[in-house]
Amino acid sequence: MQSVAAALARLGELAASPTVSRLANAFAAAGHELALVGGPVRDAFLDRATNDLDFTTDASPDQILKIVKPIADAHWDIGRAFGTIGAKVGDDTVEITTYRADSYDGQTRRPDVVFGASLEDDLIRRDFTVNALALRLPEVKLVDPAGGIDDMLAGILRTPAAPEVSFGDDPLRMMRAARFSAQLGFALDPGTQAAMTAMADSIRIISAERVCEELSKLLKSDRPRAGIELLVESGLAEIVLPEIPALRLEIDEHHHHKDVYQHTLTVLDQAIDYERSRGNLPVPDLVVRLAALLHDIGKPATRRLEPGGVVSFYHHDVVGSKLARKRLRALRFDNETINAVGRLVELHLRFFGYTEGAWTDSAVRRYVRDAGDQLERLHILTRADVTTRNRRKADRLGFAYDDLEQRISELAEQEEMAAVRPDLDGEQIMAILGVTPGREVGEAYRYLLEQRLDDGPLGEEEATARLQAWWAGRGQ
């Protein structure tokens, strides 16, 4: 948190920037108010980078367009029904919205769009006090009707209006509370958290698409753990992501096992650290983080209490993969993300067989083949899944995975393993066997692929001989 004086100085510099000053002067010349609002003002106090420029004004959407057109390189009015006009001014993309004073029916979360008359009324209807800040332009005057600066100094997140009213207007704000808590490192005001718990069920009226978007933003924050914990503690996760609170398995005095819920949160933390340190994936990587969060969700369904105080979770990887795909589909994630996360959950245990005995080159090839284009993410998830406090065991697993990655690298150099294919293609198979396209060609192709994985590159002559021998034996 910067000092107020330092934040105001930074805001003054922002107000003097070419884009902001051009807009401020244009609206003033037209006789309208303009204010920079929300995130950019908040981030000036938190010493965070500013990426978006959002403005609010007393001008109507038609008037905004008339003012912006002469100074914008491009403009669009896709949000016009809600009072928002977008524009490209210089190097910046901006959004300018007419003051709002919406009312809600409390059932569908569809607002009756009503344009407001004052900046202060517009700010009070926003989600949290730390976002209900504005900088009047061109005079560079800070407006803080809800005490957002005091809340930032105290590290508190609360709503400008009563939380029951704010969350009743838009229940998605409860999930936003979890996200901002994680992003900003702020504690939730007790009254706000109590309202979240009491009103959690109202999240059901929010579309799956909006929930998906908010959950994704939370997971892509620097440290999402606190937000996930808040979703679980408030009861929201029971509705939008019930597989996570289900990980809080009861542990009795006779059967002991690792706390799966806390283990999962630790895996998420560690996956984020690996994601940053390895440098082979974009940061943040939503697929890695979803896979870390969901990798053990098959455990509650597969939990068995065995004799001697042992607890087993046989096949929780396969069950978890199915559950992950089902949940992500329900949340309207795209198919690419669903398939990638499902594959990672299914494969996350595969490595642990490596420490039980030496893998052949064939086993290493299969590991790479099965991972496909998710291999780097599988490396991260598998390493992150080691949360034991036994340093000797952790080191042993770490060294074993180092060895596996080294072998993968060496085999890839020798054989270009990333593109493992049989030594003969479909056309060659049909010519050698004298068959036409059909099931037999697929069977032959798979046979040669297994030969390739077992023994490495065979060459065309050896592959042909093995294919003919296989075909002759198949006929018999």
CATH code (residue 76): 3.30.460.10
Give pLDDT, residue 100: 86
Parallel, antiparallel, or unpaired for β 53-57 and 92-98? parallel
Above 90 in pLDDT, residue 179?
yes
For residues 62 and 258, which has the higher predicted lDDT (pLDDT)?
Answer: 62
Q: Among 133-147, 161-175, 199-213, 431-445, whose mean pLDDT is lowest? A: 431-445
Q: Convert the pLDDT of each residue in 316-355 to its tens digit.
A: 999 999 999 999 999 999 999 999 999 999 999 998 877 6
Model pLDDT for residues 234-251, shown as the tens digit of each residue: 999 999 999 999 999 755
Is 372's pLDDT higher than 50? yes
CATH of the domain at 312: 1.10.3210
Average pLDDT for 175-194: 96
Q: What is the mean pLDDT of residues 20-36?
A: 96
Average pLDDT over residues 379-387: 94
Output the pLDDT for position 138. 94
- The residue from 151, 186, 206 where one domain ends is 151
CB 10, CB 48: distance < 8 Å: no
Model-level pTM? 0.83
Under the banding of pLDDT at 50, 70 and 90, the label for residue 253 is very low
Buried b (16+ CB within 10 A) or exposed e, 293-332: bbbbbbbbeebeeeeeeebebeebbebbbebbbebbeebe
Residue 430 and residue 331 in one domain:
no
Residues 29 and 77 in one domain: yes
Among the three residues 241, 261, 278, which one is the final residue of a domain in this structure? 241
The pLDDT value recorded for residue 104 is 58
Q: How many domains does the chain have?
A: 4
Give the model's pLDDT for residue 8: 84
With cut-offs at 50, 70 and 90, classify the pLDDT of residue 35.
very high
Q: Is pLDDT at 137 greater than 70 in this prediction? A: yes
Co-location of 321 and 335 in the same domain: yes
pLDDT at 108: 54
Using CB atoms within 10 Å of the CB of residue 472, give its burial: 0 to 12 exposed, 13 to 18 middle, 19+ buried: exposed
pLDDT of residue 415: 62
**Does residue 102 surpass a pLDDT of 80?**
no
Segment 160-186 mean pLDDT = 95
Report yes or no: 293 and 287 within 8 Å, Cβ to Cβ: no
Lowest-confidence region among 66-80, 99-113, 134-148: 99-113
The pLDDT assigned to 305 comes to: 81
Let me know the angle formed at the C-alpha of 131 by 191 and 158, rounded to the nearest 5 degrees: 5
Tell me the pairing of strands 156-157 and 84-89. Answer: unpaired
pLDDT average, residue stretch 11-32 = 95
Mean pLDDT of the chain: 90
Q: What is the pLDDT of residue 412?
A: 79
Give the burial class of 366: count Cβ atoms within 10 A of its Cβ; 0-12 exposed, 13-18 middle, 19 or more buried. Answer: middle
Q: Are residues 15 and 143 in the same domain?
A: yes
| pLDDT at residue 473 greater than cutoff 90 | no
State the CATH number of the domain containing residue 233. 1.10.110.30
What integer pLDDT is reported at residue 103 of this predicted model? 56
- Averaged over 12-21, what is the pLDDT? 93
303 and 343 in a single domain? The answer is yes
Note whether 234 and 88 are same-domain residues: no
pLDDT of residue 252: 47
Predicted pLDDT at 359: 83
Q: Lowest mean pLDDT of 26-40, 61-75, 320-334, 449-463, name the range.
A: 449-463
Confidence of residue 101 (pLDDT cuts 50, 70, 90): confident
pLDDT band for position 474 (cuts 50, 70, 90): confident
Phi-psi sector, 190: left (phi>0), alpha (psi -120 to 50), beta: alpha
Q: How confident is the model at residue 117 (pLDDT cuts 50, 70, 90)?
A: confident
The reply to whether 159 and 206 lie within a common domain is yes
Based on the domain organization, do 393 and 471 belong to the same domain?
Answer: no
**Residues 6 or more apart from 274 whose CB is under 8 A from it?**
379, 380, 383, 384
By C-alpha distance, which of 95, 87, 83, 80 is closest to 40? 95
Q: Does the structure show a pLDDT above 60 at 16?
A: yes
Tokens 């006009």 -> residue: 85
Could you say which of 241, 262, 295 is where a domain stops? 241
Q: In which domain, by residue range, is 169 found? A: 155-241
Residue 111 has pLDDT above 70, yes or no: no
Q: Examine the domain organization and report whether 104 and 232 are in the same domain.
A: no
Q: pLDDT tens, 188-239?
A: 999 999 999 999 999 999 999 999 999 999 999 999 999 999 999 999 999 9
Give residue 450's identity as a one-letter amino acid code.
Answer: E
Average pLDDT over residues 117-139: 94
Q: Mean pLDDT, to the nearest integer, of 16-39?
A: 95
Q: Answer yes or no: do 146 and 165 share one domain.
A: no
Average pLDDT over residues 272-301: 94
> Are residues 201 and 321 located together in one domain of the fold?
no
Nearest Cα to Cα of residue 26 among 73, 75, 61, 67: 67
Question: Looking at the structure, do residues 393 and 312 belong to the same domain, yes or no?
Answer: yes
Report pLDDT for 242.
Answer: 97
Angle, to 10 degrees, between the axis of helix 286-294 and the axis of helix 260-278? Answer: 160
